[in-house]
Amino acid sequence: MTSFFFQLLQALLMVVLAPIAAGFVATTKARLQNRCGASIMQPWRDIRKLFSKEVVLAEHASWIFRFTPYVVFTATVMAASVVPSLLLDTPLSLTADVIALVALLALARFFLSLAGMDIGTAFGGMGASREMTFSALAEPAMLMSVFVLSLGAHSTNLTTMIAHTLSTPLLIQPSIAFALVAMLMIAIVETGRIPIDNPTTHLELTMIHEAMLLEYSGRHLALMEWASMVKLLLFATLIIDLFFPWGIGGDVNLLTIGLALAIWLAKLMVLFVVLAMIEISIAKLRMFEVPQYLGTAFVLAFLGLIIHYMLEVTV
C-alpha cells in the first residue's frame, strides 16, 4: 500500500515538476546567451493564467478538437506515471511496459494531429503532416534503442530493465553506447527541441508542434502546453532510467527516497544543461534534413541491436 501511495506521489511529482523543468531549460538558455531570462517558475505562471482565461473555439470545431486536450494530457501523464523516477519497485509500472509507453505517447500524438486538421486551416494540416511524418521515423528508432536494453534484460518492463542494469557490473557495452546516442537524438525530436523544432516559435513556416496548437486557447491550450512539458521531463527521466539508473531508491523509506530525489534532480539538471547548450549552439535544421537525422538515429539503434546479437549474447 505504501509503495502504491509513493507511486502516486512520484507521478504527481513528475506532473508538478514538469513546468519547472521547462522553465529551468529556458532560464539556462537565457543565461548562456548572456540574457537575464525569466524566472524558472514562468511556465507555471503561464499555465495558471491560461487556466483562468476564456476558451475561444473556431466556428465549426468538432468534438475531436475539444476532446483532444484531455486525451493528450491524460495519455502523457499516464505514460509519465509508469516511468520510475525515485523508486524502483512500483506496482503500477507493470500496467504498461516500454512498448505500451511508446504507444501511449503515440495515442496522444494521433489525437493532437487530428485536432490540427479539425479546423481546416493550412497551418494545422501542415503541422499534422510534419509531426506524423517525423514521428513515423522517430518512433521505430526509439523502440529499437529501447529494445537493445530489453534484450539484455530479457524484459520490456522498465522496473526489470533498471534492476538488470543495476545488477550488472559497470562495463561499457558497445550496443548500449549506440542505443544511447540514438535515444538522445530521438528525445530531441520527440520533445520538439532545436535543431528539429522550436517550442518558442510562433508563426514560422518551419514550425511543427506549434502549428497544430494555433487554434487552441484557454484551458485547452494550458493542458496541451503542460502535456508537452511533462513529455520533456518524461524523456529525460526515461534516458536516466535506461542508461544511468544508479541512485534510484530500492526500498520505501524516507532516507532512500530523499537521496533518490536529490540524485534524480542532479541528473536532470545535467541533462537539461546539455540540452540548453545544444539549443544555443546549433541552428535549426532545414525541414528536409530532418529525415536524414532521423535515419541516422534509426540506423544507430538498429546497429545497436545487431551488435548486441553478434557480440554480447552469451548462449
Q: Which residue has the cell 506515471?
A: 81
Give the Cα separation of 312 and 295 in Å (integer). 25
- Alpha-carbon distance of 67 to 111, in angstroms, equals 9
- Does 288 sit near other proteins (CB under 8 A)? yes
Cβ proximity to other proteins: between 180 and 212 the closer is 212
Q: Residue 37: which region, alpha, beta or left (left: phi > 0; alpha: psi -120 to 50)? A: left
Q: Between residue 189 and residue 218, which ones bind other proteins under the rule CB under 8 A?
A: 214-215
**Contact with other proteins (CB under 8 A) among 219, 243, 247, 261:** 219
Please give the DSSP secondary-structure letter assigned to residue 289: G
Pick 137 or 177: Cβ nearer other proteins: 137
- Residues in 85-104 that interact with other proteins by CB under 8 A: 92, 94-97, 99-100, 103-104
The DSSP bridge partners found for residue 249 are 87
With CA atoms as reference, report the closest residue to 124 among 138, 137, 112.
112
What is the closest distance, in whole angstroms, from the C-beta atom of residue 2 to other proteins in the complex?
19
Report the alpha-carbon distance of residue 26 to residue 271 in Å, rounded: 13
CB of residue 225 vs other proteins: minimum separation in angstroms?
Answer: 14
C-alpha cell at 263: 540524485
> Quick check: 121 binds other proteins (CB under 8 A)?
yes
For residue 315, the minimal CB distance to other proteins (Å) is 6
Q: Is 174 in the site for other proteins (CB under 8 A)?
A: no
**In the complex, minimum distance from the CB of residue 24 to other proteins, in angstroms, rounded to a whole number:** 24
Separation CA 36–CA 260 (nearest Å): 31
Please name which of 297, 296, 305 lies closest in space to residue 173, comparing C-alpha atoms. Answer: 305
d(CA 212, CA 126): 8
Nearer CB in complex with other proteins: 46/215: 215
Least distance CB 215 / other proteins (angstroms) = 6
| 263 close to 218: Cβ distance less than 8 angstroms | no
Q: Which of 252, 285, 291, 296 binds other proteins (CB under 8 A)?
A: 291
297 binds other proteins (CB under 8 A): no
Q: Which is nearer to other proteins, 272 or 302 (CB)?
A: 302
35-94: contacts with other proteins (CB under 8 A) = 51, 54-60, 62-64, 70-71, 73-75, 77-78, 81, 92, 94
